[in-house]
A = this chain, B = another copy of it.
Amino acid sequence: MAPAFSRAEYNNRLVRVRAEMVARGLEALIIGDPANINWLTGYDAWSFYTPQIMLVDLQDGPFWIGRPMDAGSAKFTTYLTESQILAYPEPLVQRLDTHPMEFLADWMAGNGFATARIGFEDDVYYLTPRAVGALQAGLPNASWTGADLLMNWLRFVKSDAEIAMMRQASQIAEVTMQTAWNGARIGVRQCDLMAEITAAMIKGTPEFGGDMPALHPLILAGEAATAAHPMWNDAPLEAGQTVAFELGGCRKRYNVGLARTAHLGDPSDRLMRTSDAVQEGMMAVMEALKPGAIASDVHQAWQRVLDRHGLEKKSRIGYSIGNAYAPDWGEHTLSLRPEDQTIMRQNAVVHVILGMWMDDWGMELSETLHITETGCVRLCDFPQHVHVI
């Protein structure tokens, strides 16, 4: 096994992180987001459910800190040398009277970080208040600054190699949605259909396999279609149901999202009119999405179509997507909404998801869009209309 990208690519990423650290006056950076750890070093394992940290410094690191039983993964999935792989003692795991981050604080105190200016991710899933508290208590003379999204914003513009990886993920997403279309019919249990769909995601293509996408595969059928993120159940699909799927493909932790809607039986005028409006809105978004465009203006292009059709949607319509682990495939940076002034850049990738969750039904249409030199292109090639079964 080897990291997913060339050593030159990882070196370039590290240089960019350190440049941003210097610009912010940071001597150390504590990373808890497994996607950021993967992006920086290639590290890949389902080991982030116990404390797992990356410490980035300005010269000898980055350092991986985790459980002894996972240190092997740091050896065979990254370019890190043995001195960059630090395993804390196993007995520190999951106790109320001590914490693995006490080990890291001790190590940092003894290795030149006692009075360092330290940035840390303060709003990620896998770096808890207790973990941060243990670090701060063990390094009382260091200074601490929230540095959430520092690395995520560097990931906003993808490299050509990352785009190539996401093109592979998009092929998996196409196969996956086709599996949903082939399998959805009256009487099939949701769980049986989702089993086929998830298997398609993991099988991938004959050329390359798939990973499990970071977002749980979603089916919105019947009552559940009024909410955005219901879990599947074992009820059979019923005649007259509108069924939305939010699926995707994942290749070496790079995610591509794809949402579509099917209807079992004769679709209502209401559904078809909403679908037409949403397809028109997607076209308007795609025309607006290009280097130099401002996020709020891209949202406005959608809003104009929605207003003309007398429809309403209060939530954001898209976000930056890429490298991610459960539970979210979004990068938590760009959001396409009125409040966001982010300027679009070439090689950014945006999952535009037009989810219409009504009082007693719902539908979705999404595209993962790659911003090119002059505009944007869809990563998946899949028909947008409601699939009538």
Could you say how many copies of this chain the assembly holds?
Answer: 2
Contact size range, A: 35 or more
Query: Whole-angstrom distance from the CB of A74 to the nearest CB of chain B?
Result: 8
Q: Which residues of B contact A330 (CB under 8 A)?
A: 49, 94
A149 within 8 A of B: yes
Interface residues in A175-222 (C-beta closer than 8 Å to B): 189-192, 194-196, 198-204, 208-212, 215-216, 218
A308 within 8 A of B: no
1/0 per position for A48-63, CB-CB distance to B under 8 A? 1100000000000000
Identify which of A72, A130, A148, A208 gathers the most chain B CB atoms within 10 Å of its CB. Answer: A72
A18 within 8 A of B: no
Does B46 lie within 8 Å of A316, measured CB to CB? no
Please give me the residue from chain B that is nearest to A335 by CB atom: B94
Q: Which residues of B contact A124 (CB under 8 A)?
A: 128
Does B233 lie within 8 Å of A209, measured CB to CB? yes
Does B122 lie within 8 Å of A314, measured CB to CB? no
Please give me the residue from chain B that is nearest to A99 by CB atom: B123
Does B227 lie within 8 Å of A69, measured CB to CB? yes
Expressed in whole angstroms, the Cα–Cα distance for A249 and B126 within the complex equals: 25
Does A93 lie within 8 Å of B335, measured CB to CB? yes
Report which of B94, B199, B234 forms a contact with A332, defined as CB distance below 8 A: B94
Report which of B192, B208, B335 forms a contact with A203, defined as CB distance below 8 A: B192
A25 within 8 A of B: no
Q: A47-B228, A72-B230 are in contact. List 6 more A-B contacts (CB 8 A).
A: A67-B228, A68-B314, A69-B229, A91-B338, A125-B126, A208-B234
